[in-house]
Each structure stands twice: as C-alpha cells, then as structure tokens.
Homo-oligomer: A and B are copies of this chain.
Amino acid sequence: MDIESYSQEKTGVLVRAWGRVKALPDKLKTKVVSTCKSIKKLGQDDPRRITHSLKVGLALTLVSLLYYLRPLYDGFGVSGMWAVLTVVVVFEFTVGGTLSKSLNRGFATLLAGALGLGADYFASLFGKKGEPIVLGILVFLLGGAATFSRFFPRIKQRYDYGVLIFILTFSLVAVSGDRVDELVILAYQRLSTIIMGGATCMIISIFICPVWAGEDLHKAVASNLEKLASYLEGFGNVYFQSSEDDGSNVISPKDGKTLPKGYKSILNSKNSEDSLANFARWEPGHGRFRLRHPWKCYLKIGTLARQCAYQIEAINGCIRSDIQTSEEFKNKISEPCKRMSSECGKALKALSTSIKTMKDPSPANSHIENSKAAMKDLKFALKAASLEDSDDFLAIVPAATVASILVEIVNCVEKISEAVNELSLQAHFSKTVEPTVSPEKSQQQQQLLHRGIIQPVFEADDDENNGNVVITIHEISTDSPENQKKPTKE
C-alpha cells in the first residue's frame, strides 16, 4: 500500500513535471512575444529612442576601434580606454545633455588635473614619509568640500557632473605617485582621449538626427496648453449638456462625451520641464531657436499651466459630486459658463498654436476678452437669479462651485496669455498681419458672442475641433440664420 501510494505519487510528480516541461515552450513564447510587443511599443511611442540607441552604438564602435587599432594611434596607449569611458558616460538623449556633460567633463578634468599636479608637487616637499599624509589630508579636504558644494542648488543644477569628475580626476592624479614630469604626459594623454571621446559624442549627437532639449521643451509647453484647451473646450458642453438631455448630472461616457484626461500629466510635469530647460541652456542656436532663447519664459508658462491643471482637478472633483444639482439653477448659469469654458479653451489653443508656430499670440486676445465678458455675464446672471422654485441652497452648490472655479480658470488663462506675450516679445515671434478682419468686424463678432451665441464652426481657425473632444451643438440659436448654412460637426 505504501509502496503503491509512493509510486503513484512519483508518477504524479513526473506527470506534473512533464506537463511543466511541455508548457515551457508555450510560456517562453508568450513571454518573448509580450517582450517584443513592449519593445515595439517603446520604439513606436518615440522613434528617436531607436536612433539614439544606434547613435550610441556608432559612437562606441568608432571610439572602441580607435582603442583597438592601437598601432595607428600608439601615442595614446592604454589611455585610449578613457575615450570609451567618456562616450558611455557622456552620451545623453538630448544634445543639451551631451554638451553639458562633455563640457563639464572636459573642464573639470583640466582643472582637477592641474590642481592634482600642484598637490603632488606640494606633497613632495614634505619628504617620503610626509607625502602620503599630506596627500591624504588634501584628498580628504578637497573631496569633502567638493561633495558639499554639490548640495548648492545652482551647482547641482548645472555643474553636478563636473564636480564629480573634478573629485575623481583630482584623487587619481594626486595619488598616482609618479614623478611630476611623467604625470604631465599621462595627464596630457588622458585629456586628449577624453576630448576625443567627448568630441565624437558631441559631433554625432549634433549632426545625426539631433534631439534638441530646447525644442522638446518648446513642444512640451505648447502641448500642455493644448491639453488644457481640449479639456476646457469639452467641459462646458459635457457638464451642462447632460442636464438638458435627460436631467441627470452624471457624466455618461456615451457618444464619446468623456472629458480628455490629458491634463493629468501636467500636474507632475515640473521636473521634466526644469531639466529640459537646464539642458536647453547648453545648446547652440538651432532651427528657430537662437543661442540665448528665453527658456525661463517656458518655465513660467509651465508653472501657470500647472496652476490651471490644479483648478481643473478641483472641477473634476465637483463633477463626481453625489449631490443632486438643481437643473433650474444650472440652466441659468449654463450659457455664460459654457462660453467661459469654451473661450478659455480657444484662447489656450490659440496660445499653443502661437508658441508652436512662433507667431504673434494676439489672436488669443479676443477669446480672452470674450471669456472675461462671459465672466461678467455670469456675475450678472447670478445677481439676477432668485430661488423661485423649491430648490434649496444645497442643490446649487455644485454648479456654483463649477462657476467659481471657472472664474479662477479665466484669471489663470489671462496670466498664461501674459506669459506667452512676454515670451513672444523676448523671443521675437513674428507678427501676423490680419488685413481681412477689420476692427468693426471683430467688435461685432465679440458683441455677437457677448449675446450668447456659440459658433465654433464659424470661427477663424477651423482646425480647433480636431482634438479628442467632439463638440456637439444641440441648440442652434434661431436668431441668426447663418447658423443653418453648414451642418455642425459630429
């Protein structure tokens, strides 16, 4: 019995093991397939990643062969290693990053090498016994002081890598213990190989499919404004539409009427913007950007965009509120609120386009004026409103909150517009000439909008509806027959 159960157990174990072995190829296959998929996705998300990898491989191969084919460059000897080391450590994704690290490395090596030689000479004055003690003290003091200096925000931001290389080179040179004249040759060899490695990186990163940190920052800030715009353009219709449709204040995902969540990525964008701006300062003039492009202005716009995103996050909280909102009250403020939100969205989109195309941001001004006029209308509507029906205060709180935060958003968008204007002045954006729009016409258009008609289809810039929000206009105002000429976009 025991033996039988033992043999049965043994068979069971074998069967299970065999099952596992049989399943192994399938498992492996799934794993490989999923890894391949994620590699493909990573490459598709940003094809520059692939070119970057190829560029690093190229730089590495060039410098390695230089090192391998020693007979050709016998002057460098074993120091050729430093060229390989430099390429691996210095080659960054963006041109600015590569330049910042290369230059930091070069100058730090030069400075620390000279100081190290001085320290060596100074220590040799103390005789054979005193030398290691003096060198030890010097390395301790300079290493500690340089490490401490890395805590200074200014140094941390720009010269962190340089300080690191300074400590490294100083220690290496100071304690290498050779005679000073030999050291000079060694230092010369090292410096020249480091320069060779750094130059290879800089040339490849600048001339082969360059990734400019400045351009990335420029695009990131513009796209952040666009994300905010997409939300705001959609918001008014989604929040106030549902009440007109079926009386429920639940945002339904039907008909593609969900609000884009793109703005969420703005909430934590500070660090990446800071580091891009930091790298951008190291870059030479390229494309549309001069050497001293006002990168700081982008950071200011970024900060204001984050402020706006915080407000949107608060509005999102209100939408999810479980308090039943009074439909009467909502209808009363619906018109100016919708206008505030959509005009803010249009203004942001115009500002984003202005940044992208580097053209005068003045087209946004009329939208901002419109949103401010809508804000006044809202105040007027609120002043005129009264509790005619059975509604209590509780029922008006969510809508009132939305209105109040929209007012904050309007103020915020105005500030963003000022910041973009400052950028356009400092970066000399080109002025756009608009001869077709006479002052009277623009005045009239503004007045029309002031009277409460939403005309997204007839706006000058027609490409504003191709974001991920489909604005559906259900209420076609009858007092302007033009509105029936074109079908509304669905």
Q: Which residues of A contact B (CB under 8 A)?
A: 38-39, 42-43, 49-50, 52-54, 56-58, 60-61, 64-65, 67-70, 81, 84-85, 88-89, 132, 135-137, 139-141, 143-145, 147-148, 151-152, 164, 167-168, 171-172, 174-177, 267-268, 270-271, 306-307, 310-311, 313-314, 317-318, 321, 323, 329, 379, 382-387, 392-394, 396-398, 400-401, 403-405, 407-408
Residues of chain B lying within 8 A (CB to CB) of residue A393: 329, 382-383, 385-386, 396, 400
- For residue A394, give the distance in angstroms from its CB to the closest CB of chain B: 4
A145 CA to B52 CA in the complex, in Å?
11
**Contact call B396/A310, Cβ cutoff below 8 A:** no
A280 CA to B148 CA in the complex, in Å?
23
A347 CA to B315 CA in the complex, in Å?
24
**Contact call A310/B314, Cβ cutoff below 8 A:** yes
Say yes or no: A147-B53 contact (C-beta < 8 A), given A64-B174, A88-B167, A177-B70.
yes
Residues of chain B lying within 8 A (CB to CB) of residue A379: 323, 394
Could you list 30 A-B pairs, sorted by A, with CB under 8 Å? A38-B152, A42-B148, A52-B148, A53-B145, A53-B147, A60-B171, A61-B139, A64-B135, A67-B175, A68-B135, A81-B172, A89-B164, A268-B271, A310-B310, A311-B314, A314-B405, A317-B408, A318-B404, A382-B392, A382-B397, A383-B393, A385-B393, A386-B387, A386-B392, A387-B387, A393-B396, A400-B401, A400-B404, A401-B401, A401-B405
Closest to A394 in B: B382
How many protomers of this protein does the assembly include?
2
**Contact call B396/A400, Cβ cutoff below 8 A:** yes
**Contact call B314/A151, Cβ cutoff below 8 A:** no
**Contact call A84/B172, Cβ cutoff below 8 A:** yes
Q: Which of B38, B143, B311 contacts A60 (CB 8 A)?
A: B143
Q: Which of B65, B143, B311, B387 contacts A56 (CB 8 A)?
A: B143
Residues of chain B lying within 8 A (CB to CB) of residue A174: 64
Closest to A151 in B: B49
A373 CA to B67 CA in the complex, in Å?
75
**Contact call B392/A68, Cβ cutoff below 8 A:** no
